[in-house]
Chain A
Amino acid sequence: MNPSPEAAANRPRRRGLLRLRQEIPRPVFIAAGWAVPLVLLLLWWAVTASGLVQKLFLPSPGAILAEGWRQLSEGILLHDAAISTYRILLGWSAATLIAVPVGILMGTYRLAEGALEPFISTVRYMPVVALIPLTILWAGIGDAQKILILFIATFFSQALMVMDNVKGVDGALIRTGQTLGFTEGEILRRIVLPAAAPGIWDTLRITVGWTWTYLVVAELVAANEGLGRRIMDAQRYLATDTILWGTLFIGILGLVTDLAFKRMGQRLFRWKGGPK
């Protein structure tokens, strides 16, 4: 490349893909996103095909796909997925139904924040796994117990995040509402909530991902079916292909959920402008 005379006179401009905060061509950006999993997949395939790593420790990609196909053709996969999705949906929805109003209250009224924030912040750090025995006592060993675990895993962080979403609303919007003659209730409903809504939606999207990650914990005890259960059962037989396939599949379902939330968010909040 011939540098232009002006550029040559100054310090030569750095070209290339690694410049501080500089935009890169879109195709390169997308290709980079595909390259990482492809390279990992290739490495994975190489170490298993070459026999470098024993099948027991790391089955080949092909073996995992075969396991996925087996589960699908035997009808296990969709059955497990349906059961697990149902539990996720119920646990997350129950948490959301309570966490959103609670978070809004905490973000709006200092009294609610003062009363609830210390409690919720503390409980948030308690390990959910440790609560399994208690949840069994409280909710038995049926679906209710699994849903309760997912609820506990989701609710506390969710409430705090919604609180932050609401507190993040610009105070000038509230003062504007006051100067326009709206009552406190009207300001909350017609100004604070719509202003916080995109943030709250994002919180819902992030927390549903967390709910998915707790699926295995939820299905740890007394479950006969479900994606998490299948993984725990496989542990007993050292069926690493089943374990890896199950983990991968939960990841895929989580990704699909995330994308669905993103799309819906763009639809709901068109006034924010599209994705950058």
Chain B
Amino acid sequence: MSPTSPPRVAISGVKKVFTVNGAPFTAIEKIDLDIQPNEFVAVVGTSGCGKSTLLNMVGGLEEPSLGQITIDGRPVTGPGRDRGFVFQSYSLFEWMTVAGNIRFALEKSKLSPAEKTEAVAELIQAVGLRGFENAWPHQLSGGMKQRVAIARALVYRPSILLMDEPFGALDAQTRGLMQELLLKIWEDHKVTVIFITHDVDEAIFLADRVVVLASRPGLVKSVHAVDLPRPRSPDLLTDPAFMAIKRKVLADIREESLKVMAQDLSSPKLAKD
């Protein structure tokens, strides 16, 4: 990476204040974070630390109250096809088949119908859903649904993939397989990933860097580089180097959780957040 090229995503001095029942609530105090092209960044933190808010702002679904987010040097003004989004609730269009869901994402693209068909087939192959092209979403398991959502988010070749706890609703076994699948797709497709999760193992296993957010108001508490070799296999989860990073990340999160609990105990009104 040449030092002169702008970061893929630059989050500078971003603040977000919501109005909750007429009173201002600061979800994010100030976040600065640069993400390089093709980097895989995981964001962890306690509930209500503004993780999803941050992701929504990068996605252009919400606007910062202060500060700016740029992508390749251009400010974000709204959602755009340079960013794909995967949500925890699979958010599939139930009235479209698997292939239909993925193809729907290409409606606004200038590809010819033949090129679209090819792109859809390629992504179905990449997420391992060959043979399920004409299945309805209700016929799929949670893991398969999320494969469709990933394929749909990647089919128009965004340079950034934004994932908001995408595997949070899956069982542990499926989750592990989906993580491996995601890493493979990420290596094949050369895409920058911002991945929100509660799961520290997941964050370290996947990411180049793990960002721990502090809560109420949201700030970057710490950033942990994950200098573990790739391609990664599940064996890594018991590797001493992995454990060492995990220990530090968990300590930071624990500190935040204790802080949040102390706050909740002194002002029970906020505890529902």
Contact = CB atoms under 8 A, between A and B. Distances in A.
A264 to B, nearest CB: 16
A173 interface: yes
A178 B89 contact: no
B138 A179 contact: no
Contacts of A128: none
Nearest to A181: B108
Q: Which of A170, A178, A179, A273 has most chain B Cβ within 10 Å?
A: A179
Interface string B89-131: 1010111100000001101100000000000000000000000
Chain B interface residue number, banded:
20 to 34
A194 B107 contact: no
Contact of B89 (A172, A182, A191): A172
A176 interface: yes
B95 A273 contact: no
Contacts, number: 61
B81 to A, nearest CB: 5
A170 B91 contact: yes
A193 B6 CA distance: 41
A180 B56 CA distance: 14
Contacts of A271: 94-96, 136-138
B195 to A, nearest CB: 16
Given A271-B138, A273-B139, A175 B108 contact: no
A180 B104 contact: yes
Interface string A165-178: 00000101101101
Interface in A166-224: 170, 172-173, 175-176, 178-182, 191, 194-195, 197
A179 B59 contact: yes
B61 A175 contact: yes
A18 to B, nearest CB: 31
A129 B46 CA distance: 57
A181 B104 CA distance: 11
Given A195-B95, A271-B95, A175 B87 contact: yes
Contact of A179 (B85, B88, B89, B95): B85
A157 to B, nearest CB: 26
A182 B84 CA distance: 13
Contact of B93 (A178, A181, A191, A269): A191
B83 interface: yes
A59 to B, nearest CB: 49
A89 B163 CA distance: 49
Interface string A254-276: 00000000000000010111000
Given A179-B61, A181-B79, A172 B107 contact: no
B108 A176 contact: no
Contacts of B81: 180-181
Interface on chain B toward A: helix, strand, loop, or mixed SS?
loop
Contacts of B138: 271-273
A178 B156 CA distance: 14
Contacts of B89: 170, 172
Given A178-B61, A179-B59, A172 B91 contact: yes
Nearest to A186: B107
A175 B57 CA distance: 12
B268 to A, nearest CB: 28
B93 A179 contact: no
Contact of B79 (A179, A191, A194, A272): A179
B73 interface: no
A181 B87 contact: no
B94 A272 contact: yes
A180 B59 contact: no
Nearest to A269: B95
A272 B92 CA distance: 12
9 cross-chain pairs, A with B, having the tightest CB-CB distances, nearest first: A172-B91, A179-B85, A172-B87, A181-B108, A178-B79, A179-B79, A273-B138, A271-B95, A271-B136
9 contacts: A176-B91, A179-B59, A179-B60, A179-B79, A180-B81, A182-B107, A191-B93, A271-B138, A273-B136
Interface of B: 56, 59-61, 79-81, 83-85, 87-89, 91, 93-96, 104-105, 107-108, 136-139, 152-153, 156
Given A195-B94, A271-B95, 19 more contacts: A170-B91, A172-B88, A173-B93, A176-B85, A178-B79, A179-B84, A179-B153, A180-B81, A180-B107, A181-B80, A181-B81, A182-B107, A195-B95, A197-B95, A269-B95, A271-B136, A271-B137, A272-B138, A273-B136
